[in-house]
Amino acid sequence: MVVPSTTSRDTVLELIKQKDSIEAKISDQGKILQANRVGMDDPLVDGNGYPRSDIDVYQVRQARHQIICLQNDLKYIMKQIEQGLHTVHAETAAQQQEHLGSTKLQSMEVTDGDGETSSTQLVRPASVKPIAKVNVVSDGSPAQEAGIALRDEIIEFGTVNAGNFRDLSQIAVVVRSCENRTIQVKVRRDGALLDLLLTPKSWSGRGLLGCNIVPIESTTVN
């Protein structure tokens, strides 16, 4: 009889903890950019070529450097997680061949720092915990173009998920740091999970998304 290795599972869980730690650090560095009202690509010099006086140029440069390094670390960790998940899946699949009707497997997606996704499988609960919900979507907005709809429950927003979510400022950081870059967003709509690709960008309306995201327990429009 083939039994899934405890070592394999523990290794994957430890890698996931490392992933969460890296994502938290990226979020912290992103807050520095947010405090300076800049993203990853905004110029740090004025029209005359001098360092901008309205921001802490040194701090912003350091934060950007840290984010780039951390995103590279995250990409490496995600590849390791993918390999570990394949090992766990192979062992579990072999066990299922011997014991029909054993624990059901669900598909699991992982996203690296560059927005690329890979799919594999791991035994996990069928329930998914949302971190926020959408209560406004403007016509012609980037959110509408991505397929986001009113009352969608957000399960994952880029690197932010139930495992590392603290408050909505994390989503704001992701939006600012990924302006004009594609973000993977997983939502639950009428009980079904949907994977959407959202590109924060300037448009005719306010903000970079054109939708309002509120805490999952909130019922008011901010």
CB neighbours of 69 closer than 8 A, spacing ≥ 6? none
- Spatial separation of the C-alpha atoms in residues 162 and 137, rounded to whole Å: 23
Q: Which pTM value belongs to this model?
A: 0.44
Question: pLDDT value at position 86?
Answer: 73
What structural domains and CATH numbers belong to the chain? 6-122 (no CATH), 132-215 (2.30.42.10)
In this predicted model, what pLDDT tens digit does every residue of 85-124 receive, in sequence order? 777 666 655 554 554 444 344 444 444 445 554 444 443 4
**Average pLDDT for consecutive 10-residue bins of the chain (222 residues)?**
53 84 93 92 91 93 94 88 72 52 43 47 55 95 95 92 88 87 91 92 93 75 34
Residue 117 · residue 197 · CB < 8 Å: no
Question: pLDDT value at position 146?
Answer: 94
Question: pLDDT value at position 113?
Answer: 47
User: Helices 169-177 and 6-35 meet at what angle, rounded to 10?
Assistant: 80
How far is C-alpha 170 from the chain's CA centre? 10
